């Protein structure tokens, strides 16, 4: 797994500025004002910092952007990074500033002179997240993560917030690593094994194997993995940091590779289907963050792990399977497999844990990408209060989400001639009919959200806080959602 850049919070020490050998990051306000440490560095570099701040290049920078001075005279540092940032930045601007520092520093250790600037924990988070690279399968020189040191006026005031930020970063990195892994490495067994390791953080983890799933009647989930040599599994992660109250449930689709099954996908782009377990990856990352920061809440995370492969044993279009709920499902398209997995896992979550609410995540439909692109996840729900709470958390964390409609009128598209329901409803409103299918397995009084993250889980262009590839979208929003709505005071 990728190691997170080491973070140290320390008290401002001007005597160290001349001898730090890596990169040094300083901040200048939009009108060019420098803090005490930055002014000291300016004197050491024979006013190189002031010349940079007075330049047209700095003037054209947006808030949170940076310019770099290479090998400035008078100090040992190979680079000085000058970031345009106000004294009391927003969360978004602070994290953007951190990301700019990460991109400018390269592999070097970086000393960030924060002084008394606000939200330095978010600057550190942005630096840590944007420093991420996924290199376990490269055989040449691998990128190394240099340490991050943040010097501030009052380190004791920052330490607790920085610890929480790094817990969030570790959850995001865990999700990214899982989502980036190739399918020949991240098999269903390997995925489950990595989740079992979360027990070291105080979590309770169970792995339900195929015989247990058969006893539970999970015919919908099991039909997806019939064509694969990898066994289907459900992993249950329980974090009990609250009192005696019922937990909140997070459920993730974990298709470790999706060929489409007998309804085979086109060859072009199929290699991207290693990310089709992205929903399960987010659930895993959230659970890790909650455990690391010792969240005062009860949360259960459940993931259905399968591989969708064609073979002589694979489910065929036209087959009828029986879900744990008891509803029969006509499988029209074996490439609409994620909802078959979720149907059984969300029902099991409700049946066993009687949760206060359910949020499921899945890289479910291409239709949601057509509708929302790669900027927003699709949000579908039966409960306005739950949705408002999640949307507020997502907005606060800068993770794009957009609510899409649901209506019983769409259920007509899912009517089957020979079974209770069919698993697809045609091309029109594809992401909505997928949500309507899952809703069939949500009990009437259960607050529920379905997040279709097909467009945001893994991307072809870098984002504000992530390089190309897996983003870890959802970990920050769901962590805040739990903190704001379900933690004891």
Contacts for 28-33 with beta carbons within 8 Å, 24 or more apart? Answer: 28/53, 28/58, 28/82, 28/83, 28/84, 28/85, 29/84, 29/85, 29/86, 29/87, 30/63, 30/84, 30/86, 32/58
Is 54 annotated in some ligand binding site?
Answer: no
pLDDT at site 262: 98
Helix, strand, coil percentages (3-state) for the chain, rounded to 5, are 40, 20, 40
Tokens of 145: 């993560």
pLDDT at site 488: 73
CB 440 within 8 A of CB 410: no
CB 283 within 8 A of CB 250: yes
**What is the chain's pLDDT, residue by residue, as a tens digit (489 residues)?**
788 889 999 999 999 999 999 999 999 999 999 999 999 999 999 999 999 999 999 999 999 999 999 999 999 999 999 999 999 999 999 999 999 999 999 889 999 999 999 999 999 999 999 999 999 999 886 666 789 999 999 999 999 999 999 999 999 999 999 999 999 999 999 999 999 999 999 999 999 999 999 999 999 999 999 999 999 999 999 999 999 999 999 999 999 999 999 999 999 999 999 999 999 999 999 999 999 999 999 999 999 999 999 999 999 999 999 999 999 999 999 999 999 999 999 999 999 999 999 999 999 999 999 999 999 999 999 999 999 999 999 999 999 999 999 999 999 999 999 999 999 998 999 999 999 999 999 999 999 999 999 999 999 999 999 999 999 999 999 999 999 999 976
Q: Which residues lie below 8 Å from residue 190, measured CB to CB, with a gap of 6+? A: none
Is 337 annotated in some ligand binding site?
Answer: yes
CATH of domain 7-154: 3.40.220.10
Tokens of 381: 């729900």
DSSP-assigned letters across all residues of 399-425: --EEE----GGGGGGG--SSSSEES--
pLDDT at site 140: 81
Catalytic: which of 265, 296, 316, 392?
Answer: 265
Instruction: Residue 184: count other Cβ atoms within 10 Å of its Cβ.
Output: 10
Region of residue 459 (phi > 0: left; psi between -120 and 50: alpha; otherwise: beta)? beta
Task: Tell me the HSE value of 41 on the side-chain side, using a 13 A CA sphere.
Answer: 35
Q: Which residues lie below 8 Å from residue 9, measured CB to CB, with a gap of 6+? A: 149, 150, 152, 155, 158, 159, 162
Q: How far apart are CA 453 and CA 474, in angstroms?
A: 9
Q: How far apart are CA 441 and CA 165, in angstroms?
A: 35
Is 444 annotated in some ligand binding site?
Answer: no
Is 258 annotated in some ligand binding site?
Answer: yes
What is the chain's length? Answer: 489
Q: Spell out the domain ranges in the chain.
A: 7-154, 172-486
CB 286 within 8 A of CB 475: yes
CB 68 within 8 A of CB 80: yes
Burial of 118 (0-12, 13-18, 19+ CB in 10 A): middle
pLDDT at site 214: 98
- Provide the whole-model pTM: 0.97
- CATH fold of 172-486 reads Aminopeptidase (3.40.630)
Q: Which residues lie below 8 Å from residue 280, measured CB to CB, with a gap of 6+? A: 178, 191, 252, 253, 254, 303, 304, 305, 361
CB 20 within 8 A of CB 111: yes
Q: How far apart are CA 250 and CA 237, in angstroms?
A: 10
Cα 412–Cα 456–Cα 470 angle in degrees, nearest 5:
135
CB 277 within 8 A of CB 258: no
pLDDT at site 342: 98
Tokens of 182: 């190739």
The DSSP secondary-structure symbol of 327 reads -
pLDDT at site 146: 86
pLDDT at site 1: 75
CB 99 within 8 A of CB 127: yes
339 is catalytic: yes
User: Which of these, 341, 312, 300, lies nearest to 423 by C-alpha position?
Assistant: 341
Is 460 annotated in some ligand binding site?
Answer: no
265 is catalytic: yes
CB 240 within 8 A of CB 204: yes
SS3 154: coil
Catalytic: which of 105, 293, 339, 439?
Answer: 339
DSSP-assigned letters across all residues of 173-239: HHHHHHHHS-TTTS-HHHHHHHHHGGGGGT-EEEEE-HHHHHHHT-HHHHHHTTT-SSPPEEEEEEE
Q: Do domains 7-154 and 172-486 have the same CATH topology?
A: no
């Amino acid at each position: 797994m990728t190691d997170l850049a080491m973070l140290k919070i320390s008290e401002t020490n001007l005597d160290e500025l001349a001898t730090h050998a890596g990169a040094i990051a300083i901040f200048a306000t939009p009108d060019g004002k420098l803090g005490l440490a930055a002014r000291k560095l300016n004197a050491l570099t024979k006013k190189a910092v002031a010349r940079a701040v007075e330049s047209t290049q700095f003037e054209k920078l947006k808030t949170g952007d940076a310019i770099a001075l290479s090998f400035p005279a008078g100090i040992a540092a190979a680079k000085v990074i000058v970031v345009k940032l106000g004294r009391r930045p927003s969360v978004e601007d602070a994290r953007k500033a951190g990301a700019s520092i990460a991109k400018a520093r390269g592999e070097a250790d970086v000393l960030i002179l924060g002084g008394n600037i606000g939200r330095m924990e978010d600057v550190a988070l942005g630096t840590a997240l944007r420093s991420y690279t996924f290199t376990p399968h490269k055989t040449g020189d691998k990128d190394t993560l240099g340490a991050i040191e943040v010097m501030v006026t009052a380190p004791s005031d920052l330490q607790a917030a920085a610890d929480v930020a790094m817990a969030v970063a570790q959850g995001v990195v865990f999700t990214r690593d899982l989502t980036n892994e190739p399918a020949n490495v991240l098999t269903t067994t390997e995925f489950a094994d990595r989740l079992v390791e979360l027990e070291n953080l105080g979590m309770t983890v169970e792995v339900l194997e195929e015989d247990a799933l058969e006893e539970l009647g999970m015919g919908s989930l099991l039909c997806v993995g019939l064509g694969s040599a990898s066994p289907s599994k459900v992993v249950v992660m329980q974090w009990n940091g609250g009192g005696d109250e019922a937990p909140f449930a997070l459920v993730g689709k974990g298709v470790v590779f999706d060929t489409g099954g007998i309804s085979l996908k086109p060859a072009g782009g199929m290699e991207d289907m290693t990310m089709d377990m992205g929903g399960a990856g987010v659930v895993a990352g959230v659970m890790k963050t909650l455990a690391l920061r010792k969240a005062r809440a009860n949360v259960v995370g459940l993931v259905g792990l399968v591989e969708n492969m064609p073979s002589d044993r694979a489910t065929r279009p036209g087959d009828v399977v029986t879900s744990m709920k008891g509803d029969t499902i006509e499988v029209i398209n074996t490439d609409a497999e994620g909802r078959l997995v979720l149907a059984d896992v969300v029902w099991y979550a409700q049946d066993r844990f009687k949760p206060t609410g359910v949020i499921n995540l899945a890289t479910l439909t291409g239709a949601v990408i057509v509708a929302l692109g790669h900027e927003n996840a699709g949000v579908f729900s039966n409960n306005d209060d739950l949705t408002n709470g999640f949307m507020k958390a997502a907005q606060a964390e800068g993770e794009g989400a957009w609510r899409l409609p649901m209506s019983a009128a769409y259920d007509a598209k899912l009517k089957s001639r020979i079974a209770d329901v069919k698993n697809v409803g045609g091309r029109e409103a594809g992401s909505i009919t997928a949500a309507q299918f899952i809703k069939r397995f949500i009990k009437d009084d259960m607050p529920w959200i379905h997040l279709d993250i097909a467009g945001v889980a893994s991307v072809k262009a870098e984002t504000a806080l992530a390089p190309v590839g897996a983003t870890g979208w959802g970990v920050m929003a769901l962590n805040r959602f739990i903190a704001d709505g379900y933690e004891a005071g």
